[in-house]
Amino acid sequence: MSSLHLLLAQGLLLLLLVELGWTLVSDEEWAQYKAKYDKHYRFKDGYHRDLYNKRVQAVADHNERYSQGLEGYQMGLNQYSDTDQSVLYSYRTSITPPTEEVTKGVPEPENYKHYDEITEGIDWREYGYISAVGTQGTECLSCWAFSSSGVIEAHLAKKNGKLVPLSPKHLVDCVPYPNQGCNMGWVSIAFNYVRHNGIATKASFPYQPKSDECHWDPKNSAGTIHDHVTLTEGDEKELAEVVYNIGPVAVSIDHLHDEFVQYFGGILNIPSCGSAKSDLTHSVLVVGFGSHPKWGDYWLIKNSFGTAWGESGYFKLARNANNMCGVATLPQYPIV
């Protein structure tokens, strides 16, 4: 193709994109985005730029509907806006969810309120039991370690009256197969490990987004658990009771949707989300719940994508919405 024909083709493509409402990111904007998140692409710059272009347009389209009152949440650009999370997960070894027997009867503390008696929401952050939001990294699938350490430290803080942040990196390095460090894992396997080996403080075992050899002496443990509880699959009322009466709960969700990855604030509702165990791809921590006068009930959830993502690292997910994204499919918490 001659240079003239190439220029004409590029011009026609640009006109088509403008006609379709597409916004092309300038070289300067693309360079600024990469600099902001310290991204360097030697061979696939065009591939990532194309993904970023699509996300910019998707965010703009969605937020236009949000401004018209047609959506209950906003989307935004972040460190994941030029990556395809589904491709990243397809590269990882598939880990079959462990067989979990539902615990027969949740241990009910004194003054336990059943669902019909609960008239308000709760936010365990207000009690000082929730540590700062962490950042797992865009290439390390260690969400399970963040939710596991987060829920253990919260329950220990509630029991002892003092929050001691615990180490997700310890779990990444040391929890054995079937968990695989940065290649995904399951919360219950981490619970079983901590029950026998304890867990390090975050300060003594700082996080890096990679898997290393395990170097751990149980004598240095900052805490342990006695057992864990697995709640009834799909029962959001039971989940709400436990969160309200007992404390935060680790859950897993189907998160491989642009609506989640580009979430910025509000009550997330993704009709295409799956809720089967085989759909669960991301582990997070339910720290409370509440209701919105227009958009309805929601779960308040701590993520591990850093504070620049979502609502300072948290998100609200539609509650009592047919087990949205599988939030109540595999809920678990430790007994400390």
Please report whether residue 119 resides in a domain. yes
Looking up residue 172, the CATH number of its domain turns out to be 3.90.70.10
Reply yes or no on whether the pLDDT at 84 is more than 80.
yes
Last residue of a domain, one of 28, 53, 75: 75
Residues 11 and 131 in one domain: no
What is the pTM assigned to this prediction?
0.90
- Buried/exposed code over 256-282 (b: 16+ C-beta within 10 A; e: otherwise): bbbbbbbbbbbbbbbeebbbeeebbbb
Residues 196 and 257 in one domain: yes
Reply yes or no on whether the pLDDT at 101 is more than 90.
no
Last residue of a domain, one of 32, 54, 75: 75
Percentage of residues in the chain with pLDDT exceeding 70?
A: 89
Reply yes or no on whether the pLDDT at 18 is more than 60.
no
Q: Which domain holds residue 117?
A: 85-335
Q: Would you place residue 19 in the very low, low, confident or very high pLDDT band (cuts 50, 70, 90)?
A: very low
pLDDT of residue 13: 40
Structure-model confidence comparison of residues 235 and 99, the more confident one: 235
Q: Would you place residue 91 in the very low, low, confident or very high pLDDT band (cuts 50, 70, 90)?
A: low
pLDDT of residue 220: 84
Q: Tens of pLDDT along 149-176?
A: 999 999 999 999 999 999 999 999 999 9
Residues 291 and 313 in one domain: yes
Residues 67 and 21 in one domain: yes
Residues 179 and 233 in one domain: yes
Domain tally for the chain? 2
- DSSP per-residue codes, 214-231: ----GGG-S---SEEEEP
pLDDT of residue 218: 84
Please report whether residue 80 resides in a domain. no
Last residue of a domain, one of 30, 55, 75: 75
Residues 105 and 212 in one domain: yes
Please report whether residue 211 resides in a domain. yes
Q: How far is CA 272 from the centre of its chain?
A: 17
Average pLDDT value for the chain: 89
Percentage of residues in the chain with pLDDT exceeding 90?
A: 78
Reply yes or no on whether the pLDDT at 322 is more than 90.
yes
Q: How far apart are CA 296 and CA 266, in angstroms?
A: 11
Residues 68 and 89 in one domain: no
Residues 152 and 259 in one domain: yes
Reply yes or no on whether the pLDDT at 51 is more than 50.
yes
**Residues labelled catalytic:** 143, 282, 303
Q: Would you place residue 43 in the very low, low, confident or very high pLDDT band (cuts 50, 70, 90)?
A: confident
pLDDT of residue 7: 37
Instruction: For residues 267-281, give the mean pLDDT.
Output: 94
Helix 187-197 vs helix 143-160: crossing angle, to nearest 10: 50
Which of 206, 238, 192 lies closest to 100, judged by CA?
192
